Amino acid sequence: MAPYYAKDIVYPMDLCPSDSSRISDRIGLFEEMFMILKSGYSSENLLYVSSLFHYFLGSLRCVQQYRNASNRTTESDTVERAIHYMKENMEKHVSLQDLAALTGYSPSYFSAMFRQKTGHSPSAYSNLLKIQYACSLLDTTDMKINQICYKVGIGDMFYFSRLFSKIMGMSPKEYRRSKKG
């Protein structure tokens, strides 16, 4: 990580996802600003969005302080940290060894602990998250199914389609065409 110096202020250039990166928090802030502005440009809305935007920019300028302020990194929340890591790295294949190394436990112990808390193995839970995200993309975007497959970190279109069908009970194409809500 090579820092960038400007007037004796150090800006870290390493913005890679980690267990404390809080990317989903920032996305939530951005979506909140978007939804508020979508409801109108009243002075109250603009003032609120301006305050949120200031906070959003601060989270980008002071990355390490923003990450350190998170309470997600406590040892008692091992499984929550692993789930957070899975969500932050959705586009990658996250192995059991990666998660075990993140939490500091052996793969077998971590897997047993994860299964006890969630009822699923880490890989099955990761697949559920990926399919949940795929459903969201199918519902809200016009992305092609093969693009969604890669977006959720599954490199094989046929495996993605089989996994989607197994979990959702229908193909991705059928899911997109189905009526919801």
Q: What is the CATH number of the domain that holds 108?
A: 1.10.10
Domain membership of residue 98 (yes or no) is: yes
The residue from 68, 86, 103 where one domain ends is 68
Residues 47 and 96 in one domain: no
Residues 64 and 88 in one domain: no
Q: Is residue 90 helix, strand or coil?
A: coil
Query: What does the angle CA 63 – CA 65 – CA 69 come to, to the nearest 5 degrees?
Result: 120
Residues 24 and 62 in one domain: yes
pLDDT, one tens digit per residue, over 101-132 is 988 889 999 999 999 999 999 999 999 999 99
Q: What integer best gives the mean pLDDT of the chain?
A: 83
Domain membership of residue 160 (yes or no) is: yes
Domain membership of residue 151 (yes or no) is: yes
Domain membership of residue 42 (yes or no) is: yes
* Domain around 30: 6-68
Structure tokens at 119: 């009822």
Domain membership of residue 27 (yes or no) is: yes
Query: How many domains is the chain built from?
Result: 3
CB-side neighbour CA atoms (13 Å) of 166: 9
Report the alpha-carbon distance of residue 165 to residue 153 in Å, rounded: 17
Q: What is the CATH number of the domain that holds 137?
A: 1.10.10.60
User: Which residue is associated with the tokens 């699923």?
Assistant: 120
Domain membership of residue 136 (yes or no) is: yes
Residues 27 and 61 in one domain: yes
Structure tokens at 40: 């109108």
Residues 112 and 134 in one domain: no
* Pair 134, 175: CB distance under 8 Å: no
Residues 93 and 60 in one domain: no
Query: Of 27-41, 63-77, 89-103, which one has max mean pLDDT?
Result: 89-103
Angle between helical axes of 78-88 and 23-38 (0-180°, round to 10): 60
Domain membership of residue 1 (yes or no) is: no
Q: What is the mean pLDDT of residues 5-20?
A: 53
Residues 20 and 58 in one domain: yes
Decide if pLDDT at 23 tops 50: yes
Check residue 18 and give its pLDDT: 59
Residues 19 and 57 in one domain: yes
Residues 38 and 84 in one domain: no
Q: Is residue 131 helix, strand or coil?
A: helix
Residues 63 and 18 in one domain: yes
Q: What is this structure's pTM?
A: 0.61
